[in-house]
Structure 1
């Protein structure tokens, strides 16, 4: 039977970093198992291809949550990347770290070594910033020698500048670096792209070293369960091509399967809340009550607006020339409609409910019409904005669920279970409308389709959100690190409490949700875990 020093489950943001670092020693045998397949697809590489990937099994797990009582009992989609690179191969490529205060809060919650001063050097070591000081980026807060390329979008739609200027006209400053000293304001987002092409965690860390003879990558491989002997993980059982096999590990297994996959892998192995496991016929190997708890995500509401302006992205006869030229413009200069990641611009703001001087909402501006019917393509032009609650108080869980002979799960976000989140999002929608009503956005003469001009009062906006709010796909926290009774992972070593030979390194270890997108922080977590392992922690 084959045996490895380290088995990493999941080739996503954190797993790719870990595989790179742990396999650097040629005497160390490292195995990476990934349920998905290759990232070699034009839809992955070309920024505009993101809309064609969501919900497709080739790229996306396509999870769906349980009915949400506060959202009209709707089941909310939870898109997660299912390929090399994980969600970093599926997302909108934004590079956001979160606020310094987010990490200082982690340290205050008992996560020693996770304060801002501790993690900033890791972010800098990972980053290869190609933007520079000429657009206002502070060199003291950025790195230039890491593997992860951070750049500017190649060809931002001009309406993005209108959006930023409209924000300035109502008092929101222009922000040229959302990873600088302050997140506040509107601007163009930094992206993880290389010469206008998606640059995922796989491209940055794993692809360059996959030729190492001591590194094995198994795609199309599902982790079924961890193999435990006397509360020590000694290997994994996987399913590949419909065939089950056991792989031995003489060192450690590291779960990097994300905030959905990691708690499910633990619970399938009998590690988790004892009563919940027994209720689904799972033998309890280790009663760890925090597994699957503490689920947090950014709940989001959209405003979509019709406009006759062909300055916005869209499909129309008047825009036929641009549509026909798009493949050539992208091939020759990485410009045109195919170069967009759609949420090119956006930013952060404080509503009247904001606390501690931190922004409490984030905007993802789309310089094109977002279908009010959920279609991939909608005829015509327009623009839209997604507004999300940055630091939600609503907390959900992931539960095991037995269905016949198979074990699956239930994702229960419990969105708006804390009513304050609903109030913050209502205020965020009102603020987004103010930006759209300001010049020069107002000159586009947009006609709001959703929520619609008849939706004006706070109660009406809330009713709209209950009917339409979704998530921006930033689930975290379901195997949180810490020292309290509900902690799953030790914050120093990243080891699972009470189990030997097992660590977790992904977004599931976050004790709270950061104020921003989660791809870059997940890579930082992978780096932090790798350093702990190599230091013998």
Structure 2
């Protein structure tokens, strides 16, 4: 083991939040910042990462993602939530959608005992993040931030016929058309936005680290998976990380753990920080007991229905131009499903198939992450818990019935034919429980909450309960997954932890 090096701040994980924290905190030339990333930091960016088109199929088959085999409860079949393993994390491998948390989401976070996280508190941060090319002059948007935002669709322009049919059908049911889905609310047919500039994906590795690479006080170490943290009393003393066959250590005044929903709890538990029973099960010495680590796992469940296609269209017309926000229960404060067209599926000799994705963005079901072993190279186990709560099952039944009726209208029949999957004879909820997929928005496994909450891991300033110099900043701290993709929320969390560390004088 080489002689340790000392820094003011060490950021563990260069993902959507970690890159932001490292960039912001290194703005002070007197603060030495180390950013550790388990994956590579390729320069120049590979074409499949840089390409601003949203077909990310090549990425899913690359070394830049980690897939977590996860069993569905109903039949044990597997699906694969994923995370990014490259500088930029999820922002380097996702579909480049820009979806803010809603006012409802942030106000709810605050109501759960997290002062300072209301929409009013967070709006200045959300504005700081972006340069919105469509609505930057509006009071709830920004026009000077590092992240370029542009809508993928303009409802005033001519749409491809199947897309226009969707819009007209939704309007016939009373749904409004919303040109900006990143305001305080989201309802009806909503235009999707993306973070692409000059054809290049604006990951946090590009938008934030790109402007910071020349700083002498920012040290980026890639291909450096973290093994564990060393705790002494109420303070983390050092981090152990690998490069090749060597193990290195580094120390700091302040540590920010930003390894993501799956690996932040794994690193903590391997360090002896976590639920006592879980640690003792594997013979890990308990250094700090926190029962909530790895609990409260949430994701957006993607439920699919497939219809016969009546026309041949290239996938270009369906690339996430908009979504339909649906409430399975009119009494809900906001829509709990986001419905998307998906690219047609062609099989030689058969008619094209037209899938529709219905993403359940608020679930009552909860899961957990736990260790497979004490080997840091072995992936943690995901016990997803999804679609198990009766309320979630009833919500799925509602949206599938709605979608079937939606497609029976004369406006849709020129493009969509009979239902293929599920069949009319199947139990549709059981079909959903045996075929749902992840929308890759895993969250909640180191949740933010007050000290009186036995499942809370960090406080409202993202500092770990009972540890003086360790912050957690990634999707794992979200007490409830927002009604949106999680990338912008993670960027906001990276901005906020930077503020908290500065305000603490670290």
Structure-2-length-normalised TM-score: 0.92
Deviation at 1:54, TM superposition (A): 1.5
Among 278, 281, 291, the residue aligned to 1:289: 291
For 1:96 and 1:68, locate their aligned partners in 2 and report how far apart those are by CA, in whole Å: 28
Deviation at 1:449, TM superposition (A): 2.8
Corresponding residue for residue 339 of structure 2: 363
3-state secondary structure, aligned to 2:372:
strand
Deviation at 1:502, TM superposition (A): 0.8
Following superposition of structure 1 onto structure 2, how do residues 458-469 of structure 1 map, counting pairs within 5 Å? 460-469=427-436
Q: Which runs of 5+ in 1 are unaligned?
A: 315-336
Corresponding residue for residue 382 of structure 2: 411
For 1:83 and 1:268, locate their aligned partners in 2 and report how far apart those are by CA, in whole Å: 22
Among 22, 36, 45, the residue aligned to 2:50: 45
- My pick for the range that moved more, 46-55 or 438-447, is 438-447
Retained in 2: the 8 A contact 1:370–1:378? no
- My pick for the range that moved more, 472-481 or 172-181, is 172-181
Deviation at 1:344, TM superposition (A): 2.6
For 2:308 and 2:318, locate their aligned partners in 1 and report how far apart those are by CA, in whole Å: 20
Deviation at 1:379, TM superposition (A): 8.5
Deviation at 1:407, TM superposition (A): 5.6
3-state secondary structure, aligned to 1:434:
helix
For 1:179 and 1:436, locate their aligned partners in 2 and report how far apart those are by CA, in whole Å: 28
Structure 1 residues 92 and 233 mapped into 2: Cα distance closer, same or farther (>3 Å)? Answer: same
Q: Which runs of 5+ in 2 are unaligned?
A: none
Q: How many residues align?
A: 493
For 2:366 and 2:376, locate their aligned partners in 1 and report how far apart those are by CA, in whole Å: 30
Among 422, 444, 458, the residue aligned to 1:489: 458
Structure-1-length-normalised TM-score: 0.87
For 1:290 and 1:258, locate their aligned partners in 2 and report how far apart those are by CA, in whole Å: 15
Among 246, 250, 266, the residue aligned to 2:249: 246
Retained in 2: the 8 A contact 1:55–1:62? no
Q: Can you list the C-alpha shifts for 1:413-456, whole angstroms capped at 9, x where unaligned?
A: 1112212111112211222233333353322143433224x25x
Retained in 1: the 8 A contact 2:227–2:267? yes
3-state secondary structure, aligned to 2:254:
strand
Deviation at 1:381, TM superposition (A): 4.4
Structure 1 residues 371 and 271 mapped into 2: Cα distance closer, same or farther (>3 Å)? Answer: farther
Corresponding residue for residue 67 of structure 2: 62
Q: Can you list the C-alpha shifts for 1:150-180, whole angstroms capped at 9, x where unaligned?
A: 1122797553333222211222221211112
Retained in 2: the 8 A contact 1:313–1:381? no
Corresponding residue for residue 435 of structure 1: 406
Q: How large is the Cα RMSD of the aligned pairs?
A: 2.3
Retained in 1: the 8 A contact 2:68–2:381? no
Corresponding residue for residue 329 of structure 1: none
For 1:132 and 1:406, locate their aligned partners in 2 and report how far apart those are by CA, in whole Å: 44
Corresponding residue for residue 222 of structure 1: 225
Following superposition of structure 1 onto structure 2, how do residues 93-112 of structure 1 map, counting pairs within 5 Å? 93-112=96-115
